[in-house]
Structure 1
Amino acid sequence: MSSHQPSREDLIQTLLLASRESSTLAVFFHTNIAERVGLGATEEKTLGLLGKFGPLTAGEIASHTGLTTPSVTGLIDRLEKKGMVQRIRDPHDRRRVIVHPNQERLAELDRLFSSVQEAFHEVLDIYNDEQLATIADFLIRSAQRSKELMASQLGKEEES
């Protein structure tokens, strides 16, 4: 029996495949969680953005999500109809409308996700601090690259 070390290319391919599977499962997972509170996955993730950044304009939501402005308008309409957000005119610039989350409804989502976060602590417990730093670096860089790709794709669509 040989102790064959996988090549760098094999490791990269394994990581890319695992990342793709993780991404796919994350979409299904978030869809499942969102459905429990009567939301779609995009709605749930948008509420997550509002929870993280606070009130945002429709343009800022579009920037964070990569969605087109008409899509964001429909998204906000749905969230407002479900009592998850409220549109409030900016008191300093009446042309600007700011989307404010319903904090009580955000708390419902937070309760659902807190048990999930606890479950992932168990997964992470086997890694040492250096490995955790590497995993965190990979995830941060992957998220940044996704944002860059969304922005470049959005720019191409606006040009056509």
Structure 2
Amino acid sequence: MGAREEAERVLAALPDWGHDTTQLNAEVAKRMGVTLSDMDCLHALNRHGPATAAVLAGRVGLTSGSVTRMIDRLEAAGCVRRVRDPGDRRQSLVEPTAGGLARVQAFYAGLAACTLDDLADFTGDELAVVLRFVERLRGNTAAELARLRAAPA
């Protein structure tokens, strides 16, 4: 099989993996008593640290009203808390709680372990290629999302 055919097989497998990931995230959200958007918020907070509601709204693609309700749900679930912004005491930041992050991480621990085991089968050079591909894929996805958001509905 040639490189083009292998590339097409990879491309065909990606939507299935995306669907499986979405299903897993939905199940975790259900078990935590939150929504998929709430899980996106927790991911953003985990990756980028505390943020204002406005920054979170931009990161998860929600309106200010929707993000306020999301923060309320996550706070009620014990996943986040509001704290004063040390740089501007007029506004507050949303930060994940240690308990909330621990609950999320517990749901993904098995998958993380399996994934690390799978990655151990690859050489350092192969892993560099995988990482380069994932980074390009993320960049392409972000660009397409920005294009769609900028276009009329």
For the superposition of Structure 1 and Structure 2, which TM-score range results when normalised by the shorter chain? 0.7 to 0.9
The question of 1:99 aligning with 2:110 is answered: no
State the one-letter code of the partner of 2:101. Answer: L
The gaps in structure 1 that reach 5 residues or longer are: none
The question of 1:141 aligning with 2:136 is answered: yes
Partner residue in 1 for 2:2 = 6
State the one-letter code of the partner of 1:144. Answer: G
Separation in 2, partners of 1:149, 1:58 = 24
Max radius of gyration: which structure? 1
State the one-letter code of the partner of 1:134. Answer: V
Partner residue in 1 for 2:56 = 61
Partner residue in 1 for 2:150 = 155
> What SS does the corresponding residue of 1:144 show, helix, strand or coil?
helix
The question of 1:30 aligning with 2:51 is answered: no
Cα pair distance change 1:146/1:62, threshold 3 Å = farther
Deviation of 1:78 after TM superposition, in Å, equals 1.8
> What SS does the corresponding residue of 1:32 show, helix, strand or coil?
helix
The gaps in structure 2 that reach 5 residues or longer are: none
The two structures have a TM-score, normalised by structure 2, of 0.84
> What SS does the corresponding residue of 1:56 show, helix, strand or coil?
coil
The question of 1:39 aligning with 2:34 is answered: yes
Question: Number of residues paired by the alignment?
Answer: 153
Separation in 1, partners of 2:145, 2:63 = 11
Deviation of 1:27 after TM superposition, in Å, equals 0.3
Among all aligned residue pairs of Structure 1 and Structure 2, give the percentage whose two residues are the same amino acid: 28
Of the three residues 70, 75, 78, the one matched with 1:75 is 70
The question of 1:109 aligning with 2:115 is answered: no
> Once the two structures are superposed, what CA deviation does each residue of 1:18-72 show, in whole Å capped at 9, x if it has no partner?
1111111100011112222222222123212212221111222233223343332
Separation in 2, partners of 1:85, 1:132 = 34
Deviation of 1:76 after TM superposition, in Å, equals 1.6
Partner residue in 1 for 2:45 = 50
Cα pair distance change 1:88/1:156, threshold 3 Å = farther
State the one-letter code of the partner of 2:77. Answer: K
Answer yes or no: is the 8 Å Cα contact 1:66–1:150 preserved in 2: no
Partner residue in 1 for 2:114 = 119
Answer yes or no: is the 8 Å Cα contact 1:66–1:154 preserved in 2: no
State the one-letter code of the partner of 2:2. Answer: P
